[in-house]
Structure 1
Amino acid sequence: MFKKESKLKRFDFILLFTTIILCVYGFIVINSATLSKTFGSEPFLKTQITAFALGMVAVFILLFIDYDIYGGFYLPIYGITVALLIYVLINPVRASEWGDVRSWMSIGPIVFQPSELAKFGVIISVSKFIDIHKDSINNPAVLIKILVFAFFPIALIMMQPDLGTSLVFIFFIAVMLFVAGIDRKYIIAVLVIAFVLLIIGLMILYNIMQDYVPKKDYRVDRIVTFFYPELDPEDTGYHVIQSKIAIGSGMIYGRGLFKGVQNQLNYLPTKETDFIFAVIGEELGLIGGLLLLCLYGILFYRLIKIARNASNLFGSLIVTGIAAMQFFHIFENVGMTMGLLPVTGIPLPFISYGGTFMLVNTVSIGLALSVGLKRAKVSMNDF
């Protein structure tokens, strides 16, 4: 694949193979999660495998492109990202399959979420913007300029509204700023503000609970459901309750693949997307869940290695953004299925069903591998 031996040594085969194993794991679980659907699992698997194949082709192409080229086009990339997010607000897909939402757009027969593609645009453009201002990043005026640049696309996503995806963006941008060397005083200030907001939020929740009416506001329902799912077990609390039952019933070894009661009898909602980890917990048990988390652990370890050894800050921030994006998805998805975090509708990377989501995840690995090929240093300890 590569002409020079040094290039071959720098290629992270472990990261690539781990990604492929995760995707295959996902195919198996999606097959079980959709087996009881009206048309069976074939349509879901076809979409997922096609997205994976396209993603692998994109990975192969990205390996031959110097990632520094993207930095030269960071403003056009940012502009296209913002344009897509504005377009979907003005002219969204409005069909019964997706409901009256402003998160989807269509190009011919292809329907996708611009917010998913925006992850690449924001990671690349913000990484370059930070890189340009790296020597003065702690200057208040410069930092404000970076934050405005980074958070404008997030504001557009919030207007869709899509709080879950917005939180993903906020998290990986915060991590990127931390890695870029933001001053400790700003971090402390953010933590203090977060603590104050948490106290205010708990006080507001207490007041809401005094005369709470389910199904009045779905965002409030999600927060209340997190604390008290039993208040509305047949509607707003149904997802979490059924998910916890599924995971708990799997115990150590699980009920067996294709043998989950909650899964196969369709008690578990959105089981092929948001709550697919509950399918793993019920049918593959603690062992299956730990295996998945171990694979994710290897993935993060390799991404961190690449970020640390990148030839410049721009490359390091790209991989940092990718790793942080993946981490937040995994942490939130697993947490919400176990009732430890509020339900935000965030899917599980490489495992949850979704063509656009699968494509974004595989291409992100391709970007990371591309950065890895241009590492500043290579040692046998990296493999």
Structure 2
Amino acid sequence: MFKKDNKLKRFDFILFFTTIALCIYGFIIINSATMSKASGSEPYLKTQIVAFALGLGVMFFLVMIDFDIYGSFYLPIYGVSVILLLYVLINPVSASEWGDVRSWIAIGPVVFQPSELAKFGVIISVAKFIDINKDNINEPVVLIKVLVFAFFPVALILMQPDLGTALVFIFFIAVMIFVSGIDRKYIIAVIILALIMLVIGLISFYFIMKDYTPNEDYRIDRIVTFFYPELDPEDTGYQVIQSKTAIGSGMIYGRGLYKGVQNQLGYLPTKETDFIFAVIGEELGLVGGLGLLLLYALLLYRLIRIARHAANLFGSLIVTGITAMLLFHIFENIGMTMGLMPVTGIPLPFISSGGTFMLVNMVSIGLALGVGMKRGKIDMNDF
């Protein structure tokens, strides 16, 4: 149908329409999760749809850009990301309004989370920095330079403190470095170090539990709640208990859309954001949950495919970072709603309510599609 040199043939329509399907799925679930609120669903849906429309426009704009241009400006992109993360430490939105974590800033009427925007800056700049040093990446001095360059923004995020977002950065940076061709000895060293830290963590947890008092430190509370939510069922363990109750009550086919008891009666906390998968589990059951997972699996597969066939290492690392970022969000969010992972406040891509997060997700796919457009003779239709 298309000529071999027609760029439209390189556009990944499967990835694009999978993304649209996920967004529509999210609109429906957000409508159900917020209809019992005093303000109703309209303000939440309006924000989400506007962010989706803006993201769609940005996506098509990014598709037309040669992604190699980003590499020419990787240092300014990195600098802007660092400045945003520094600014939020100096002048965050009022803590009384947004909690103790200094993660938000306001520019006029717009309130947003700089760490979300910094994800792109870090992915692009780290991808280019690795690409520049790819021939010497396994030399200790070069590897240390890459690690310092990559993890300095993570240190700023930890100072907010925002452990959940920091973990997202750590994961996608680690995956990007791993696929860049790092020597096996470094991987083994990291695994050994991780095992040592795990043992130390378990020993520390044992002593913490001997004299544990809820609400002394929210980070410790989240860890303790992960193992024993029943120790504080009315406060720190409340979210996980209600979430597991909602998902379990949905069984195979769910209670029906807009008919969830935990959801509609307000027992489920942060149900439009962090715990939105519990709404899916209660109202659409196992079938609805598996349907969402299948869409995610297709999305991640197409992203991995683009990364494998990218025109160069820089493009491959950009898409690898995006894929790892989305994978961590999906795994952590669904896991925490089921009590399989600690509660970290990480939203579910394309599904959770939030204008900035929706825009970030759409831009991520736009960047990946842009990389996919420069794939030479690779035929995107050989699924």
Assess same fold via TM > 0.5: yes
User: Are the aligned partners of 2:101 and 2:162 in contact in 1 as well (CA < 8 Å)?
Assistant: no
In structure 2, relative to structure 1, the CA distance for the partners of 1:97 and 1:34 (3 Å cut) is farther
| Alignment partner of 1:121 is 2:121 | yes
User: Are the aligned partners of 1:89 and 1:102 in contact in 2 as well (CA < 8 Å)?
Assistant: yes
| Alignment partner of 1:317 is 2:313 | no
User: Are the aligned partners of 1:271 and 1:279 in contact in 2 as well (CA < 8 Å)?
Assistant: yes
Gaps of 5+ in 2: none
User: Are the aligned partners of 1:172 and 1:325 in contact in 2 as well (CA < 8 Å)?
Assistant: yes
Residue of structure 2 equivalent to 1:338? 338
Q: 2: CA distance between counterparts of 1:313 and 1:137?
A: 13
Residue of structure 1 equivalent to 2:308? 308
Residue of structure 1 equivalent to 2:131? 131
Q: 1: CA distance between counterparts of 2:239 and 2:341?
A: 13
Report the residue type matching 1:109 in the other structure: P
Residue of structure 2 equivalent to 1:35? 35
Cα displacement (A) at 1:323: 0.3
More displaced 10-residue stretch of structure 1: 368-377 or 247-256: 368-377
Residue of structure 2 equivalent to 1:210? 210
In structure 2, relative to structure 1, the CA distance for the partners of 1:214 and 1:298 (3 Å cut) is same
Q: 2: CA distance between counterparts of 1:205 and 1:100?
A: 24
Q: 2: CA distance between counterparts of 1:339 and 1:316?
A: 34
Residue of structure 1 equivalent to 2:12? 12
Q: 2: CA distance between counterparts of 1:126 and 1:52?
A: 27
> What CA deviation, in whole Å up to 9, does each residue of 1:211-248 have, x standing for no partner?
10000000000000000000000000000000000000
In structure 2, relative to structure 1, the CA distance for the partners of 1:52 and 1:245 (3 Å cut) is same
Residue of structure 2 equivalent to 1:237? 237
Residue of structure 1 equivalent to 2:44? 44
Report the residue type matching 2:243 in the other structure: S
Cα displacement (A) at 1:376: 3.6
Q: 1: CA distance between counterparts of 2:362 and 2:180?
A: 25
Report the residue type matching 2:215 in the other structure: K
User: Are the aligned partners of 1:247 and 1:279 in contact in 2 as well (CA < 8 Å)?
Assistant: yes
Q: 2: CA distance between counterparts of 1:377 and 1:266?
A: 54
Q: 2: CA distance between counterparts of 1:220 and 1:357?
A: 26
Q: 1: CA distance between counterparts of 2:29 and 2:115?
A: 25
Report the residue type matching 1:119 in the other structure: K
> What CA deviation, in whole Å up to 9, does each residue of 1:152-207 have, x standing for no partner?
00000000000000000000011101110111111111011001101100101100
Residue of structure 2 equivalent to 1:61? 61
User: Are the aligned partners of 1:254 and 1:284 in contact in 2 as well (CA < 8 Å)?
Assistant: yes
Q: How many residues align?
A: 382
Residue of structure 1 equivalent to 2:298? 298
Cα displacement (A) at 1:95: 5.4
Report the residue type matching 1:93 in the other structure: V
Cα displacement (A) at 1:380: 6.0
Secondary structure in 2 aligned to 1:111?
Answer: strand
Cα displacement (A) at 1:377: 3.4
| Alignment partner of 1:362 is 2:357 | no
Gaps of 5+ in 1: none
User: Are the aligned partners of 1:130 and 1:180 in contact in 2 as well (CA < 8 Å)?
Assistant: yes
Cα displacement (A) at 1:381: 5.6
Report the residue type matching 1:83 in the other structure: I
Residue of structure 2 equivalent to 1:254? 254
Q: 1: CA distance between counterparts of 2:111 and 2:353?
A: 15
Secondary structure in 2 aligned to 1:144?
Answer: helix
Report the residue type matching 1:323 in the other structure: T
Report the residue type matching 1:177 in the other structure: I
Residue of structure 1 equivalent to 2:144? 144
Residue of structure 2 equivalent to 1:75? 75
User: Are the aligned partners of 2:12 and 2:380 in contact in 1 as well (CA < 8 Å)?
Assistant: no
User: Are the aligned partners of 2:33 and 2:279 in contact in 1 as well (CA < 8 Å)?
Assistant: yes
User: Are the aligned partners of 1:274 and 1:345 in contact in 2 as well (CA < 8 Å)?
Assistant: yes
Report the residue type matching 1:210 in the other structure: K
RMSD: 1.2
In structure 2, relative to structure 1, the CA distance for the partners of 1:181 and 1:43 (3 Å cut) is same
Residue of structure 1 equivalent to 2:187? 187
Residue of structure 1 equivalent to 2:90? 90
Q: 2: CA distance between counterparts of 1:184 and 1:105?
A: 41
Q: 1: CA distance between counterparts of 2:124 and 2:6?
A: 26
Cα displacement (A) at 1:99: 2.4
Q: 2: CA distance between counterparts of 1:355 and 1:57?
A: 15
TM-score (norm 1): 0.98
Q: 1: CA distance between counterparts of 2:310 and 2:345?
A: 33
Report the residue type matching 1:180 in the other structure: S
Report the residue type matching 1:287 in the other structure: V
Residue of structure 1 equivalent to 2:197? 197
User: Are the aligned partners of 1:305 and 1:382 in contact in 2 as well (CA < 8 Å)?
Assistant: no
In structure 2, relative to structure 1, the CA distance for the partners of 1:161 and 1:107 (3 Å cut) is same
Q: 1: CA distance between counterparts of 2:49 and 2:271?
A: 18
Residue of structure 1 equivalent to 2:101? 101
Cα displacement (A) at 1:382: 3.3
Q: 2: CA distance between counterparts of 1:379 and 1:207?
A: 57
Instruction: Give the % identical residues.
Output: 79
User: Are the aligned partners of 1:165 and 1:346 in contact in 2 as well (CA < 8 Å)?
Assistant: yes
Q: 1: CA distance between counterparts of 2:317 and 2:243?
A: 35
User: Are the aligned partners of 1:92 and 1:101 in contact in 2 as well (CA < 8 Å)?
Assistant: no
User: Are the aligned partners of 1:94 and 1:101 in contact in 2 as well (CA < 8 Å)?
Assistant: no
Cα displacement (A) at 1:5: 4.7
Report the residue type matching 2:124 in the other structure: I
| Alignment partner of 1:263 is 2:263 | yes
